[in-house]
Amino acid sequence: MDMKQAAKLLVVIFLLINTYWDMKKREILLWSIFLFGSLGVGLMLVFKTMTLSSGICGVFFGVAVIGCAYITRQAIGYGDGLVIAVCGVYLGFLQVFVMVFYALLICCSVSVALIAVKKCTYRTYVPFLPYLLAGYGCVILF
């Protein structure tokens, strides 16, 4: 297994752990942010899994989501932005952007369907990390 495949596996493990926790407790695990973020930076710097500029841009995308969380009073949570920033270390700007795009597309489709069948309202809390995991699956597949 080369380092790029190891990085993909680490992203899947990171998203699976936090998806479970987000669905169970409506929060993310801060220790996982630090652990997987540090591992991602180490892989990027030591094994050159991606360019430094792409990794930094990927992190800034997550920081922008944190800014959106502040502006919208956490319509999307700070934790979601932190998870996106960690994924940005591993994936870079373009792939993390595509991952979030797919996640939003899937989340919107599921939410509209649930509202249409009156299973929830537009104010219902929706954990976003399962959709990020699905979005990453789309990135890997496509």
Could you give the 3-state DSSP secondary structure of residue 102?
helix
- pLDDT tens string 33-59: 999 999 999 999 999 988 999 999 999
Whole-model pTM: value is 0.95
How far is 16 from 37, CA to CA, in rounded Å?
15
Instruction: Encode pLDDT of 110-133 as tens digits.
Output: 999 999 998 888 788 889 999 999
